A = this chain, B = another copy of it.
Amino acid sequence: MYTESIENYLKAIYELQREWGKVSTNALSEKLGVAPASVTSMIKKLSEKKLLTHKRYQGVKLTRAGQKIALEVIRHHRLIELYLAEALGVPWDQVHEEAEKWEHVLSEDLEDRMDAALGHPTRDPHGSPIPSRDGTIIELDSIPLADMRPGQHGVVAEVSDHDPNLLRYIGKMGLYPKTRVKVVSVEPFSGPITLKVGDASHVLGAEAAQYVFITDVKGNPGEVI
């Protein structure tokens, strides 16, 4: 088994890789909240263990072995998040923090039991896909709500879980995964977005809209006024 630290590095690298393609020392440093120099020495170690490849000054890339471990940790994380929400009613803005710790000590047996109790789910409470045991993951094709135009509508696919405050804010307007939304208007200069969620109308700040991802986008894109 790998240390908690190693698991966290691999997970972070996987996520950055998916979002930005390449993963720099600084990006990792910021995401993990450690000094760049610490990242460099960990990279060296992970490279020796063949969990990633590294070209000096050029960033890292997970090997197959590294990705496998990353996906196992992510599977733990997301199963735990969903389990806590479903079975114990933990609010969706708190499940992430709890899962951050528990994911590293969850046994495979308990993982399987939770998976079965939840009916082999495919999405966590934030809409993120839960990798299967063998490391298959189906990422959704979605765009940030911030990129939508007036008149377009779609379905909330996924919401970033990095900030509990953001989740509470988003939750207040009912923007949970699988919810239909329609963009009514968009203010210029990265301004707020007015949208319909069911019968209700909400105004959402531009920054928050970066973190809400929409799938199944349809409708004639109108002008940004």
Chain A interface (Cβ < 8 Å from any Cβ of B):
84, 87-90, 94, 97-98, 101-102, 104-105, 107, 109-110, 113-114, 117
Contact = CB atoms under 8 A, between A and B. Distances in A.
The 4 closest A-B pairs by CB, nearest first: A101-B105, A88-B113, A102-B105, A98-B107
Contacts of A113: 88-90
A78 to B, nearest CB: 17
Contacts of A101: 105
A192 to B, nearest CB: 33
A109 B87 CA distance: 14
Contacts of A102: 102, 105
Contacts of A89: 113
A90 B113 CA distance: 8
20 contacts: A84-B110, A87-B87, A87-B117, A88-B110, A88-B113, A88-B114, A88-B117, A89-B113, A90-B109, A90-B110, A90-B113, A94-B109, A97-B107, A98-B107, A98-B110, A101-B105, A102-B102, A102-B105, A104-B105, A105-B105
A199 to B, nearest CB: 33
Contacts of A90: 109-110, 113
A114 B88 CA distance: 7
Contacts of A105: 101-102, 104-105
Contacts of A88: 110, 113-114, 117
Nearest to A102: B105
A101 B4 CA distance: 12
A110 B81 CA distance: 12
A101 B88 CA distance: 20
Nearest to A114: B88
A113 to B, nearest CB: 5
Contacts of A114: 88
Nearest to A88: B113
